[in-house]
Structure 1
Amino acid sequence: MRADARKNYSHVLAVARDVVTEHGAEASMRDIARRADVGLATLLRHFPTREALFEALLRTNLDALTQKAIELETSNPPGDALVSWFREGVAFVDSYSGVVALMASAHADPNSALYAPCTAVRSAGARLLLRAQAEGTARADMDADDLFALMSALGWLVGQPGFAPRGEHLFHIITSAILTNRPGNDNKKVT
């Protein structure tokens, strides 16, 4: 890619990130082009589909989430690593309105531009979960799909104005349900 084309690509991507942060996954491609001060044809040359645009926007975040799991896997106790990574994942889901639906459909579609980075993130989270399960600090009856469902649900929920103030409380409840035999967890049965 020529230097001017790379600069133009980076500019369009930065504007797209702002527009998507404001308007979510339903952001208009025309609005992105207009705000980037480029023609729609230029935008479509760089990103021929909405999914291609989201792949470019989300790849950095998904790659960072995968890398974070790798770092935590070697530097933190298993339960702490899982909770720390789960927090990062919830924040990521919350950062882009509508990202949950995109990732859920990409997860099941090998032809999706988002399939590879979503699979990498899922695998990284699965390793953290398996490590915590092996240590006995995570529920044995969970799998990576359960972990991602909870992460996605919580990320979406804390993005809703009525639940945002309760985000930390809800995070604690969910992570207490994921982890067992951990200080501070009240895993007592209610009768």
Structure 2
Amino acid sequence: MNAAGPGRRADSRRNRQRLLDAAEEVIERDGAQASLEEIARRAGVGSATLHRHFPSRQALLNAVFHEGVERLCRRARELADGLAPRDALAVWLEELTTYTTTTRGLAMTLMSGPGGAIAVEDSCHGLIHDAAARLVTDAEKAEVLRAEVAPHELIALANAISLASEGDPGSARRLLALALGGVLKSPPAKV
């Protein structure tokens, strides 16, 4: 009986990885609303196996995008530690917008939140919110951001731009620059 346990765990890990690999391919092509049945079929498993590993679409999306989102969050910390608050926020929002523009399905995932099956703090949505919150707090303290701007609003703005510019990072950067003109205070004039 003990021999079957580790075998099943290894098989379970392989199935989970096959599901993630298939999901990445299908989501890249079809976005966040990709067919779960097709993902299971491509992975060579049944839909019950998919749902055993990922109890909801949101849980699957979170797993697919988690590594990239963690990189964005590390980048937010690096920028906060290395740049002036205004620049750190602007650069990170541009990187977030560019990444979500070119990573099909991520903007929709971030807009819909964690979805109950995932702890908020472990979800892509929660991680991005925490990264944005630090940058927003720093920018507010430095008085370079309008006081009424909240982190979730900037994330929604970045996501909306990403959805409007899907696949076109240049357009996304231009739209973000226009939008930031409305939320960041002008830098002091040089004399």
Shared fold (TM-score, shorter chain, > 0.5): yes
Structure 2 counterpart of 1:22, from 4, 29, 43: 29
Q: Which AA in structure 2 matches 1:173?
A: L
CA distance in 2, matches of 1:78, 1:156: 26
2:25 is paired with a residue whose SS is helix
Provide, for residues 142-189 of structure 1, a one-character-per-residue CA deviation record: whole Å limited to 9, x for no partner: 1212212211111111117xx7763332122122323223389xxxxx
Backbone CA RMSD of aligned residues: 2.7
Q: Which structure 1 segments of 5+ residues have no match?
A: 185-191
Range with greater deviation from structure 2 (8-17 or 23-32)? 8-17
1:140 is paired with a residue whose SS is coil
Structure 1 counterpart of 2:66, from 59, 66, 72: 59
| Equivalence for 1:119 | 126
Range with greater deviation from structure 2 (56-65 or 29-38)? 56-65
State the TM-score, normalized to the length of structure 1.
Answer: 0.79
Q: 1:63-82 to 2 correspondence within 5 Å?
A: 63-82=70-89
- Per the alignment, do residues 88 and 112 of structure 1 end up closer, same or farther by CA in structure 2, a change over 3 Å counting? farther
Contact 2:98–2:173 at 8 Å: present in 1 too?
no
Contact 1:106–1:112 at 8 Å: present in 2 too?
no
| Equivalence for 1:148 | 155
Q: 1:99-178 to 2 correspondence within 5 Å?
A: 99-106=106-113, 111-113=116-118, 115-116=120-121, 117=123, 118-159=125-166, 166-178=171-183
Contact 1:21–1:95 at 8 Å: present in 2 too?
no
Q: Which structure 2 segments of 5+ residues have no match?
A: 1-5
CA distance in 2, matches of 1:40, 1:146: 36
CA distance in 2, matches of 1:93, 1:130: 23
Range with greater deviation from structure 2 (150-159 or 49-58)? 49-58
What percentage of aligned pairs have identical amino acids? 31
Structure 2 counterpart of 1:9, from 5, 16, 24: 16
Range with greater deviation from structure 2 (163-172 or 47-56)? 163-172
| Equivalence for 1:34 | 41
Q: Give the length in aligned residue pairs.
A: 180
Provide, for residues 68-115 of structure 1, a one-character-per-residue CA deviation record: whole Å limited to 9, x for no partner: 2122111222111111211222134324545444433326x6x34263
State the TM-score, normalized to the length of structure 2.
Answer: 0.79
Contact 2:101–2:163 at 8 Å: present in 1 too?
yes
Contact 1:106–1:113 at 8 Å: present in 2 too?
no
CA distance in 2, matches of 1:112, 1:106: 11
